[in-house]
Amino acid sequence: MPDHVDKPVLDDETLAFAGRVFQYARLGHADELAELFGQGLPANLRNDKGDSLLMLAAYNAQPETTRVILENGGDPELANDRGQTPLAGAAFKGEIEIARLLLAHGAAVDGTGDGTRTALMTAAMFNRTEMVELLLDHGADPDKRDGAGQSAAEMAQAMGATDTPCQLAKAKRPATKAL
C-alpha cells in the first residue's frame, strides 16, 4: 500500500458548492444547511483549514445555525487544524448563547481538541468574565494547565486581562483538610 494517497481533483462546480456551504455556516443560513443535511450532507464537513461547519457557525456568532448543525450530528469536540474546538472559538468571541448550546450538546468543558488550551483559558486571556463564569458553573477546572504549564489565571495576567485573574482566584477549589 502506498505511503500517500492522491487527493481527488475537484471540478469548479464542486468547489463552488463547497464554498457556498461554508459561507452558509459563517453567515447563519440555518435553513439552507438543514435542507442540505436532509439530503445527506455530512454535518462534520471541514474546510482546508480544518474548520468544521460547527466551528465556523460558533466563531461567527450564528446561534441558530450552530443549533441546526448540532442537531444534525455536528461534533462539538471536532477541533480545527490549530487544535481549537468550537467551544474555545465561542469563548474567544464571547458568544455565551453559543457556548451554552455547545455545552448542552456534549462539548467537554475542559476539552482541548488537539491543543492544550481549554475554553476557560481562552476566555480568561481575553477578559471574558461572563464566559468564565459560565464555564466555571459547568465544572471547568481553574487549576488545569496548558502544555507550557500555565493556568488560565496566569495566561490572563500575561495578556493583561483586568478582571478574570481575580475571578479565577475566587473560584479556586479550597484544599481539603486531613482529618
CA distance 20 to 17: 5
Continuous segment of H or E residues that includes residue 91:
helix 86-93
pLDDT higher than 70, residue 178: no
CA distance 103 to 82: 21
**In the block, which residue shows the cell 488537539?**
114
pLDDT at 179: 47
pLDDT higher than 60, residue 176: no
* pLDDT over 70 percentage in the chain: 93
pLDDT digits (tens, 9 = 90+) for 147-165: 899 999 999 999 999 999 9
Strand, coil or helix: what is 48? coil
- Cβ neighbors of 22 (< 8 A, separation 6 or more) are 47, 51, 53, 56
pLDDT digits (tens, 9 = 90+) for 72-129: 999 999 999 988 999 999 999 999 999 999 999 999 999 987 778 899 999 999 999 9
Contacts 24+ apart (CB under 8 A), 32-36: 33/65, 33/68, 33/69, 33/72, 34/68, 34/72
Confidence band, pLDDT 50/70/90 cuts, at residue 56: very high
Average pLDDT, the chain: 90
Strand, coil or helix: what is 52? strand
Higher-pLDDT residue of 138, 171: 138
pLDDT digits (tens, 9 = 90+) for 57-71: 999 999 999 999 999
Higher-pLDDT residue of 5, 158: 158
Instruction: Average the pLDDT over each of 5-9, 131-135, 165-169 and give the range with the smallest value.
Output: 5-9
**Between the CA of residue 78 and those of 74, 92, 115, what are the distances in Å?**
8, 16, 12
- Predicted TM-score (pTM) of this structure: 0.86
pLDDT at 82: 87
